[in-house]
Amino acid sequence: MSRNATPFSGHAERRATPRKPTALLAFALNSDGVRFPCQVRNISDRGAMLEFLGQHATMVENAFDLVLADAKVRYAVKVIWRKERTTGVQFCLEQE
């Protein structure tokens, strides 16, 4: 391998916008009012990766409100993927 070559990681980046690492505290709010605390591990203008405690990642609905604890900001999101304690969500655009 040449010195300028980069090793193949086997992972293709599919995101259209860059992610920013964070440690924001938040909670997922299901339609029935049940809250699941989480941490926003990274965020972009289109979505975020959330980390939950225990099995909470599997207990959130496929669409829920993500509420940031400190900023009092709420996003309508839908689940794109789930893996163990983490969940990838996409922000839902408001219909005008």
Residue spans per domain, the chain: 20-91
In this prediction, residues 33-51 reach a mean pLDDT of 96
The percentage of the chain sitting over the pLDDT mark of 90, rounded to a whole number, equals 64
Place of tokens 């809250």: 35
pLDDT over threshold 90, residue 28: yes
Domain made up of 20-91: CATH architecture: Beta Barrel (2.40)
- On average, the pLDDT of the chain sits at 85
